[in-house]
Amino acid sequence: MFVDNVKVYVKAGDGGDGMVAFRREKYVPDGGPAGGDGGKGASVIFEVDEGLRTLMDFRYQRHFKGQRGENGKPKNQHGRGAEDFIVRVPPGTTVTDDDTGEVIADLTTHGERAVIASGGRGGRGNTRFATPANPAPELSEKGEPGVERYINLELKVLADVGLVGFPSVGKSTLLSVVSAARPKIADYHFTTLSPNLGMVSTEDGRSFVMADLPGLIEGAHEGVGLGHQFLRHIERTRVILHVIDMSGLEGRDPWDDYVKINEELRQYNLRLLERPQVIVANKMDIPGAEERLQAFQEQLSEEVPVFPISAYTKKGLEPMLREVANLVETTPEFPLYEDEEEEQGVVYKYEKREEPFVISRDDDGAYVLSGPEIEKMFKMTDFSRDESVRRFSRKMRHLGIDEALRKKGAVDGDTVRLLDFEFEFIE
């Protein structure tokens, strides 16, 4: 089965906890703090493996979790960092954040890597908190939580040339005679349900990758028929090979087919029409095809090369392949995602700082604290030690949470909830 779109969950490893420890060595009076830091959690990294051709494996494993770092140790020994979790993906995989739609990575070349979720840093041991005023702190941090997110994986096949056209115009037959690929061929629509790739070699020793893609129909840009399942795979191709049936056996007009397919490409993405296009007039061995080709060329006002061929009898293939090879050599790759910094230099944008906390009311009247910064502080606090609790209280006051609760109407004795923890508001 060819799988080209899947949603998965990734969770990087949390950092290890820092330790509270003191030196207990003979003949060393007042040894002082000696708690080590925790180790870094494992990051989830995607790596391209050219041996993979589909996202099928992600149908059976949709959760990827990195290991947490090792906790700190006595004698100022740091915990061991966890090994990164490597996930292998096929070339041509685009990774996007499910919540924001942001493109995290576009992975195309073998061995290319991208960090999808960063591991949390290790918590600091009590040695880090020693000051002249407090030389022996009983205070440490828990490890930072690793990044977790839902992501969408979308596979867009890596091919130099993409075959487009209505169903049953002979795309699969053409691929089978110019390469060693053996796609399914039958005389009914939508025989091809997934892309097929083939390596094509010309007589002068040049080669390129050709993709036989599922047939287009009217309304494909809106998802009709195979819709986007087809169109996403043509985005990476450099040259479009537009196959048109000149036999007239199905009662369709070749010119009408040509206009409709180009309109679908334009509606899906305007940049698709920037690619050089070669028209392949197929099934020229059928009586009446010559007259239809002549009428088609009279209506063609653009300077698009037209090659009459018969994929069935293998007539006229070599001139067409030479022209396609020339275009592949001279046409640069089309970037799918523009990088403003590369094109225009460094671009500085004003981004509004995310609020460190948000206060809301629950149905039972409790005040609910939420927000990435305050929740991270909470998860990294060791509430089993009084000194850590006092430090957390000071940080809350510094963020302005006490004052914000008063403005919201909180009075002495009201319940304040943060994640699964509840405490009383005290004036």
> Within 10 A of 218 (CB to CB), how many other CB atoms are there?
13
Look up residue 20 and give its two tokens: 């509270």
Residue 114's CB: how many other CB atoms inside 10 A?
Answer: 16
Query: Which residues touch 279 (CB under 8 Å, ≥6 apart)?
Result: 242, 244, 258, 300, 304, 305, 306, 307
171 is in an annotated binding site: yes
Q: Is 371 annotated in some ligand binding site?
A: no
Rounded CA-CA distance 103/107 in Å is: 11
Ligand-binding site membership of 43 (annotated): no
285 is in an annotated binding site: yes
**Residues contacting 414, CB < 8 A, separation 6+:** 365, 366, 367, 405, 424, 425
Q: Which residues of 389-399 are buried (b: 16+ CB within 10 A; e: fewer)?
A: eebbeeebeeb
To the question of whether residue 283 is assigned a binding role by annotation, the answer is yes
* 193 labelled ligand-binding: yes
Question: 211: annotated binding-site residue?
Answer: no
194 assigned binding-site residue: yes
Q: Residue 37 in contact with residue 128, Cβ under 8 Å?
A: yes
Q: What is the C-alpha separation between 20 and 106, in angstroms, rounded?
A: 43
Residue 247 marked in a binding site:
no
Find out whether 161 is annotated in a ligand binding site.
no
284 is in an annotated binding site: yes
Is 364 marked as a binding-site residue?
no
Map residue 246 onto helix, strand or coil.
Answer: coil
DSSP 335-392: -SS--HHHHHS------PPPPS-EEEE-TTS-EEEE-HHHHHHHHTB-TTSHHHHHHH
User: Hey, what are 213's tokens?
Assistant: 């893609």
Residue 282, annotated ligand binder?
A: yes
Name the residue type at position 3: V
CA gap 311, 176 in Å, rounded: 9
* 384 is an annotated ligand-binding site residue: no
Tell me the one-letter amino acid at 168. Answer: S
Bridge partners (DSSP) of residue 242 are 164, 279
What's the CA angle centered on 336, arms 332 and 337, to 5 degrees?
120
Has 327 been labeled as part of a binding site? Answer: no
| 310 assigned ligand-binding residue | yes
Binding-site residue set: 165-172, 190-194, 212-215, 282-285, 310-312
Binding-site residue set for GTP: 165-172, 190-194, 212-215, 282-285, 310-312
Binding-site residue set for Mg(2+): 172, 192
